[in-house]
Amino acid sequence: MRYSSSVKFAVLSSSHGTTFQAILEAVDSGSLTAECIGLITDRADRGCIDKAKVAHLPFIIVEKKVGESREAYDQRLDAAIRSLGEIDVVAAIGWMFVLTAPFIAKWRNKILNVHPALLPKYGGAGMYGERVHRAVLDAGDKESGMTIHLMDEGVDSGKILLQKTCPVLPGDTVETLKSRVQALEREWYPRVLQMIEEKKLRNY
């Protein structure tokens, strides 16, 4: 991929927006020099919208219609993203839908995703959110972490760009482990975007 002097990225999120907020703070502080040009979300009650409003960023709500196919929805999603302008990277953060193959093909090697475990462990269909942390605890793992990867046609199967670990501590609950993993996500997602901006990220 070739970029201009500043990478432009859009955020794709259906979450509360804690990692999105960390990205915005990194942009504001200057530690992230890539440009966030907007947010795409799926519902009007998503917390990430509040973050976009405070940052004076445009946001677009693309709500899935009753009975609408995944392919039709992703066509509208694609149009919404492109309406924001020229985009180098789509930063998926807590996006709750599996993207279809035609959408992936249009954005090949441009969609980042963060997963709250050390892929390939605890990835795949149905492994998201608190389910992941519960699976880690049930397995008795001593270590967990997060993975930032490129999205492909599979589920959590794209090329891994970066992984960071954290310990699983005695007495951990889903909530305490989730908090520790999310801290890694907030720290490293902006850093990965900056690595792309500076063309320093291996295998990208």
The runs of H, that is alpha helices, within the chain are 18-29, 47-54, 70-83, 101-106, 130-139, 174-197
The Cα 197–Cα 200 span in angstroms is 8
Q: SS3 of 47, please?
A: helix
Active site residue 115: yes
Answer for the pair 62, 78: CB distance below 8 angstroms, yes or no.
no
The residue annotated as part of the active site, out of 16, 56, 115, 149, is 115
Answer for the pair 43, 121: CB distance below 8 angstroms, yes or no.
no
Residues forming the active site: 115
